[in-house]
C-alpha cells in the first residue's frame, strides 16, 4: 500500500507535538505531563502561522484602556475586572481629573470613591485595591509603579494579569502573557492549551509563544476575541485564522 505524505494541518488527536517533547527530551515523565496539558496544536509551524495571521489582522493592536502614565494604567486595569474597557474609560475620564496621582487616591474618601467607580462593578473591593495599591506605591516605591513582576505583585489587589498589562504596555517589559477572559477562550479554541486555570494557561502560552511577541500577542488575541472570535457565536466566516483553527465551536 502506498503511503500518502501527511500534512501538519490536521489536528493530531492525542500525540504530543515534537516541539514539546523536544524541549523536555531528557525528562520523559515531565514531557508526558506537558503533552497532556498543553494544547496539541502547538507545532512551531502552526504557532508561527497563527502569529502571522494575527499580525495581518491586527497590526496595530494595543491596550484599549485610556491612560497617560503607568499609574493610570494600573488603576484602569484594576477597574477593568468584570467590566468593559469602554465603561472603564468613561469612568476614568473624570476620575483622573479628581485623583491625578497616587497621593490623591491614597487619601481619598472611600465612600466617595466607591460611588465614583460604582459603574465598573465590584466597587467596594476595587476601592480597597485602588487605595491599597496607591498607598503601597507611595510607601514602598517612592510614588512610582514598580518595574518588576515580583514588586508589582506586592501591591494590594494586583495579580499577574494586571502586572502583565502594566509592565508590557506601560514599560514594554515582557513579563508574561496577559490571560483573561478572551485570552482564555481563544487559547483553548486555538488549541494552545487545554487548561482553564489562568496561571496554567499562561505557563502553556509562555512555553509556545516566542518571548519577543508576548506583549503584542496578548493585545492581538484580546482584539480578536472582542471583534471576531466572540464568546457565544464566533464569526468564523470573517476569521483569517479559520483554515488553521480546529475549534469545535467553529460556526462554519
Q: Quickly list DSSP for 49-88.
A: HHHHHHHHH-TT----S--SSHHHHHHHHHHTTTS-HHHH
247 is a contact residue toward ligand SF4 (CB under 6 A): yes
Strand residue runs (E) in 83-222:
none
By CB under 6 A, name the one of 84, 229, 231, 232 that touches ligand SF4. Answer: 229
Contact string (CB under 6 A) for ligand SF4, positions 145-184, x = contact: ----------------------------------------
C-alpha triplet 179, 139, 109: angle, nearest 5°: 80
Distance CA 188, CA 205 (A): 11
Cell numbers 477593568 correspond to 80
Distance CA 152, CA 70 (A): 12
State the minimum distance, in angstroms, from the CB of residue 162 to ligand SF4: 26
Q: Which stretch binds ligand SF4 (CB under 6 A): 89-97, 100-108, 129-137, 239-247?
A: 239-247
234 is a contact residue toward ligand SF4 (CB under 6 A): yes
Q: Which stretch binds ligand SF4 (CB under 6 A): 80-88, 125-133, 200-208, 244-252?
A: 244-252
Distance CA 38, CA 92 (A): 38
55 is a contact residue toward ligand SF4 (CB under 6 A): no
Nearer to ligand SF4, 57 or 138 (CB): 57
193 is a contact residue toward ligand SF4 (CB under 6 A): no
State the minimum distance, in angstroms, from the CB of residue 231 to ligand SF4: 10
User: Dihedrals φ, ψ of 42, to 5°?
Assistant: -100, 20
Closest to 219 in 3D by CA, of 62, 20, 78:
62
117 is a contact residue toward ligand SF4 (CB under 6 A): no
Footprint of ligand SF4 on this chain (CB under 6 A)? 189-190, 228-229, 234-236, 239, 241-242, 245, 247, 249-250
Amino acid at each position: 500500500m502506498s503511503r500518502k505524505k501527511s500534512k501538519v494541518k490536521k489536528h493530531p488527536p492525542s500525540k504530543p507535538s515534537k516541539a514539546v517533547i523536544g524541549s523536555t527530551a531528557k525528562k520523559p515523565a515531565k514531557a508526558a505531563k506537558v503533552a497532556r496539558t498543553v494544547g496539541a496544536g502547538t507545532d512551531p509551524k502552526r504557532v508561527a502561522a497563527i502569529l502571522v495571521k494575527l499580525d495581518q489582522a491586527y497590526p496595530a493592536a494595543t491596550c484599549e484602556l485610556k491612560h497617560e502614565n503607568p499609574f493610570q494604567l494600573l488603576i484602569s486595569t484594576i477597574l477593568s475586572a468584570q467590566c468593559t474597557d469602554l465603561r472603564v474609560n468613561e469612568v476614568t475620564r473624570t476620575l483622573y481629573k479628581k485623583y491625578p496621582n497616587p497621593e490623591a487616591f491614597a487619601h481619598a474618601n472611600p465612600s466617595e470613591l466607591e460611588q465614583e467607580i460604582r459603574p465598573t462593578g465590584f466597587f467596594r473591593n476595587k476601592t480597597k485595591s485602588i487605595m491599597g495599591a496607591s498607598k503601597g506605591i507611595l510607601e514602598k516605591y517612592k510614588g512610582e509603579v514598580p518595574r518588576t513582576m515580583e514588586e508589582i505583585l506586592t501591591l494590594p489587589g494586583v495579580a499577574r494579569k494586571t502586572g502583565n498589562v502594566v509592565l508590557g504596555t506601560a514599560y514594554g517589559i515582557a513579563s508574561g502573557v496577559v490571560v483573561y477572559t478572551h485570552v482564555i477562550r481563544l487559547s483553548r479554541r486555538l488549541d494552545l492549551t487545554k487548561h482553564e486555570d489562568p496561571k496554567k494557561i499562561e505557563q502553556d502560552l509562555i512555553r509556545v509563544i516566542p518571548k519577543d511577541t508576548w506583549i503584542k500577542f496578548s493585545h492581538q488575541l484580546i482584539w480578536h476575541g472582542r471583534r471576531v472570535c466572540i464568546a457565544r457565536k464566533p464569526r468564523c466566516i470573517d476569521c483569517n485564522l479559520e483554515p488553521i483553527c480546529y475549534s469545535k465551536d467553529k460556526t462554519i
